[in-house]
């Protein structure tokens, strides 16, 4: 009996500790291969000569609804990119057309993050060496009309990297609070290289947060301090005023120091040593004037000697009072019906790959999942890229060598030609 109770208690504790996974998207159910297979079948016996492409939407396309808010959204394709750690596992959705807006979103069972940790995590790879474009996600309420998602759709959280030129290279963390969007006041730099990076936002229910990049903490703090979500706790006392006789001058002119009577002298004077040239013709050359020189007696602007102000009272500090508008809120970033994750972006140079989306209530699990996805393929990805760069360099050198040889041969031929002439 006791054993059974203990066992039950243990089971209950275990199930409590089980992470809740609201969304996990790795695009593991593939894309093109599926349609290729379908095409082969279509070409099978009895259907010889069939050449038309069989259109079959990839599985992910059914999950990621494209917005129809605009008619010219760029196309996401399922792709592992030019280099990768694993040709299958690294497949994610890639922006494929330059200078386009992108808008797709995925729905999951709605939940409420009250009293729980909220973790949002995904990988971003700007393999195109991005110049300007978003790499962030938006978390929406479940009542969003996905087919009409746009920049105007109200969201709960926006999180992820944003790059535009050399100036903007930041990780956005925007929270909606009472219908208004609030940007983080801290500057978090994002990665701007061509490799895959893991971005994680953790919001704890005690109103603290963490941002991690590649499973390393890059920023953390309190929601109240790092966003202007709530009105300030204290304000300047509107009834306090700086007294009129408040002297906040630390130094003053020495009253005993007076300007000497002979101080003011012109800055430049006619050169006393200059002589009118003997061949000067007043009629032809005009009236002769000696050149001006710096006056050696010129002392510049007179300034009184500075002394400590005996009446100095220090800088006046406006007294603060408790802000009557301030009310603490223990549920700053608690949202009722989280239900959709969207990519609503603008990209100038396309090629960004998004993958390994995870929304959970367990930061430890997210870290582990990051290790098992990004953590496993990142080394091989880097190796492949470096190998490609090495090959490209070798090819370039080879091409240059061939060109060089070609030139020499031509010169040799020309020499032979001249010989022929001589013969």
Site for ligand NAG in 373-392 (CB under 6 A): 375
- Contact call for residues 183 and 227 (beta carbons, < 8 A): yes
Distances (CA, A) of 340 to 30, 35, 140, 232, 413: 22, 27, 5, 32, 71
User: Tokens 């223990």 sit at which residue?
Assistant: 330
Strand ranges for 295-398 from DSSP E: 306-308, 320-322, 338-347, 352-360
Residues in the chain: 423
> Cβ of residue 215: shortest distance to ligand NAG, in angstroms?
6
> Cβ of residue 332: shortest distance to ligand NAG, in angstroms?
13
Binding string, residues 209-238; x marks residues near ligand NAG by CB under 6 A: ------x-----------------------
Is 208 a binder of ligand NAG (CB under 6 A)? yes
CA 387, CA 391: separation in Å to the nearest integer? 6
> Cβ of residue 397: shortest distance to ligand NAG, in angstroms?
38
If the CB atoms of residues 30 and 375 are measured against ligand NAG, the closer one turns out to be: 375
If the CB atoms of residues 223 and 338 are measured against ligand NAG, the closer one turns out to be: 223
Is 61 a binder of ligand NAG (CB under 6 A)? no
Pull the structure tokens for residue 87.
């040709």
If the CB atoms of residues 152 and 206 are measured against ligand NAG, the closer one turns out to be: 206
If the CB atoms of residues 191 and 378 are measured against ligand NAG, the closer one turns out to be: 378
> What value, to the nearest 5°, has the Cα angle with vertex 201 and ends 200 and 206?
145
> Cβ of residue 338: shortest distance to ligand NAG, in angstroms?
19
CA 181, CA 176: separation in Å to the nearest integer? 4
If the CB atoms of residues 65 and 366 are measured against ligand NAG, the closer one turns out to be: 366
Site for ligand NAG in 343-372 (CB under 6 A): 364, 367-368, 371
CA 125, CA 90: separation in Å to the nearest integer? 10
Q: Judge residue 201's burial from the number of C-beta atoms within 10 Å of its C-beta, 0-12 exposed, 13-18 middle, 19 or more buried.
A: buried
Please check if 162 is assigned to a binding site. yes
Please check if 247 is assigned to a binding site. no
If the CB atoms of residues 308 and 371 are measured against ligand NAG, the closer one turns out to be: 371
> Cβ of residue 360: shortest distance to ligand NAG, in angstroms?
13
Pull the structure tokens for residue 303.
């300034």
Distances (CA, A) of 320 to 80, 121, 243: 57, 41, 16
> Cβ of residue 364: shortest distance to ligand NAG, in angstroms?
5
N-to-C CA span, the chain: 117
CA 201, CA 416: separation in Å to the nearest integer? 73
Binding ligand NAG (rule: CB under 6 A), the pick from 15, 51, 71, 206 is 206
CA 38, CA 402: separation in Å to the nearest integer? 46
If the CB atoms of residues 70 and 364 are measured against ligand NAG, the closer one turns out to be: 364
Binding ligand NAG (rule: CB under 6 A), the pick from 56, 68, 186, 204 is 204
Is 331 a binder of ligand NAG (CB under 6 A)? no
**Number of chain positions touching ligand NAG (CB under 6 A):** 9
CA 377, CA 86: separation in Å to the nearest integer? 6
> Cβ of residue 204: shortest distance to ligand NAG, in angstroms?
4
If the CB atoms of residues 149 and 359 are measured against ligand NAG, the closer one turns out to be: 359
CA 260, CA 396: separation in Å to the nearest integer? 78
> Cβ of residue 196: shortest distance to ligand NAG, in angstroms?
15
Binding site for ligand NAG (CB under 6 A): 204, 206, 208, 215, 364, 367-368, 371, 375
Annotated binding site for an alpha-D-glucoside: 136, 138, 155, 162, 344
């Amino acid at each position: 009996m006791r054993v059974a109770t203990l066992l039950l208690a243990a089971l209950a504790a275990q199930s409590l500790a089980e992470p809740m996974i609201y969304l996990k998207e790795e695009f593991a159910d593939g894309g093109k291969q599926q349609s290729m297979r379908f095409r082969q079948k279509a070409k099978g016996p009895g259907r010889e000569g069939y050449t038309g492409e069989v259109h079959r939407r990839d599985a992910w396309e059914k999950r990621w609804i494209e917005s129809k808010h605009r008619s010219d959204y760029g196309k996401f394709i399922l792709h592992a990119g030019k280099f990768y750690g694993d040709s299958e596992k690294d497949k994610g959705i890639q922006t494929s057309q330059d200078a386009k807006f992108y808008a797709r979103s995925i729905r999951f069972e709605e939940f409420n993050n009250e009293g729980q940790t909220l973790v949002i995590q995904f990988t971003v790879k700007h393999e195109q060496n991005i110049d300007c474009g978003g790499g962030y996600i938006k978390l929406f309420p479940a009542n969003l009309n996905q087919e009409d998602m746009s920049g105007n759709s109200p969201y709960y959280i926006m999180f992820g990297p944003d790059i535009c030129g050399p100036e903007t290279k930041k990780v956005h963390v925007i929270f909606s609070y009472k219908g208004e969007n609030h940007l983080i006041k801290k500057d978090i730099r994002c990665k701007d290289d061509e490799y895959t990076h893991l971005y994680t936002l953790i919001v704890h229910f005690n109103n603290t947060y963490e941002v991690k990049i590649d499973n390393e903490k890059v920023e953390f703090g309190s929601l109240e301090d790092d966003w202007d979500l709530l009105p300030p706790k204290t304000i300047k006392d509107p009834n306090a005023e700086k007294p009129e006789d408040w002297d906040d001058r630390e130094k003053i002119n020495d009253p005993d120091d007076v300007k000497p009577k002979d101080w003011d002298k012109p800055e430049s004077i006619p050169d006393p040593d200059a002589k009118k040239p003997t061949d000067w013709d007043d009629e032809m050359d005009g009236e002769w004037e000696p050149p001006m020189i710096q006056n050696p007696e010129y002392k510049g602007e007179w300034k009184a000697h500075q002394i400590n102000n005996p009446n100095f009272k220090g800088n006046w500090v406006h007294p603060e009072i408790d802000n009557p508008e301030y009310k603490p809120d223990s549920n700053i970033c608690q949202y009722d019906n989280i239900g959709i994750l969207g990519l609503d972006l603008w990209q100038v140079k396309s090629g960004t790959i998004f993958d390994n989306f995870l929304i959970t209530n367990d930061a430890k699990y997210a870290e582990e999942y990051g290790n098992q996805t990004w953590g496993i393929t990142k080394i091989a990805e880097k190796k492949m890229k470096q190998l490609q760069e090495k090959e490209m360099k070798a090819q370039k050198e080879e091409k240059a060598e061939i060109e060089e040889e070609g030139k020499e041969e031509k010169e040799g031929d020309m020499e032979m030609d001249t010989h022929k002439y001589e013969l």
